[in-house]
Amino acid sequence: MKDVFILGIESSCDETSVSIVKNGREEIATIISSQIDIHKDFGGVVPEIASRHHVKNITIVLEECLQKANMKIEDIDAIAITYGPGLIGSLLIGLEAAKTLAFIYNKPLIPVHHIAGHIYANSLVKELSFPLLAVVVSGGHTELIEMDKHYHFKKLGGTLDDAIGECYDKVARVIGLEYPGGPKIDQLAATGRETYALPVPLRDDSYNFSFSGLKSAVINLAHNEEQRGIPLRQEDLAASFQKVAIESITTKVKKAIIDKKIEHVIVAGGVAANKGLRKAIEDLCQELKVDLSIPPMKYCTDNGTMIAAAGYYAYLDGRKADLSLNSKSQDQLV
Ligand code: KG4
Ligand code: ZN
């Protein structure tokens, strides 16, 4: 079969990234321009500033990627683009670039849902096998997705309120850590002890999650200690919070693996970088004897590689868009 080269563009939040992937599994070249340092001072991503930086960066990132791959647009089979969900201004910059390339060079335009991208980051590591359970844990999403074949997604459950990454970031802010707080809580947790009692949310029979109660419990605890003049043991609070957050994920993952006779578990999204979560899911999959893949750190946060990989399977599935494709700030994968 002829090799298929997909160019993937990702600009849904604060990373401008372009990548070329061969046959959905082999990374040829990737360029990521991150704005983390720019948004740090504001304690979170400022949408208007993010859009402006995407405009400034997109052409440079695209040219650098082609140069690194030693390829021309003519060598590419299709252009894959994150159409949503994400920050609307940011999404539109990537989409316009993708549409322009598709139009000028007469290439198919493949719409990719951001979460499908996070799921397919795993296909760069290991071939996906089915039935598969995708544990999607990111700044905007916490979902359990079942797949019985490529590019067919079924949602088993998800968060009823905050996403897990959002909860990590808010808790981090309360205990005085810089944005993005998730990785810092993870680091602190490794040095602390689980001495603070926090409630494990939503102990029910569904595949759903809830993080707002846990977030409020941490905020209240921090305020109470402050009022009583007791210094907060940051690392112990981080460890206590992380234990409960992870436990609430692994309980539902275990139930899904057993109920749905899952053979392959994958973890996707920014929070897949969490060391505590990685270890807990590794232990669980070992106990239940199911295959597990977790992407290396570089594929966990937003990047064009995962969009190009997902774009390959969407392309094989015939999912092409025309130039009327629009960005969607909110959109469910299923
Ligand atoms: O997937 P992602 O880049 O953005 C979305 O698509 O939402 O995920 C970003 C999220 C942030 O909330 C960040 O704090 C969190 O992932 N994150 C972590 C870790 N690394 C990144 N959360 C916990 N532990 C980590 N090591
Ligand atoms: Zn993401």
Ligand with an atom nearest the CA of residue 267: 1
- Is residue 330 within 8 Å of 88, Cβ to Cβ? no
CA 324 to ligand 2 centroid distance, Å: 24
- Is residue 98 within 8 Å of 66, Cβ to Cβ? no
pLDDT of residue 90: 97
Give CA–CA dist 98/107, Å, rounded.
10
Mean pLDDT of 55-64: 96
Ligand 1 is surrounded, with C-beta below 6 A, by: 13, 138-140, 165, 168-169, 180-183, 186, 269-271, 273-274, 301-302
301 Cα nearest atom in ligand 1: 3
Ligand with an atom nearest the CA of residue 301: 1
Protein residue closest via CA to atom 24 of ligand 1: 274
Q: Give me 74's structure tokens.
A: 């003519």
Mean pLDDT of 25-40: 88
Give CA–CA dist 51/91, Å, rounded.
8
Give CA–CA dist 23/4, Å, rounded.
5
Amino acid at 126: K
Extract the runs of DSSP E, i.e. beta strands, from 72-185.
Answer: 78-84, 109-113, 132-137, 142-149, 152-158
Digit-coded pLDDT (tens) for 144-158: 999 999 999 999 999
For the cut 80, the answer to whether the pLDDT of residue 163 exceeds it is yes
Give the chain's domains with CATH numbers. 5-120+299-316 (3.30.420.40), 128-294 (3.30.420.40)
Give CA–CA dist 119/151, Å, rounded.
10
For the cut 90, the answer to whether the pLDDT of residue 11 exceeds it is yes
- Is residue 309 within 8 Å of 123, Cβ to Cβ? yes
Mean pLDDT of 178-188: 90
pLDDT of residue 180: 80
Q: What's the predicted TM-score (pTM) here?
A: 0.92
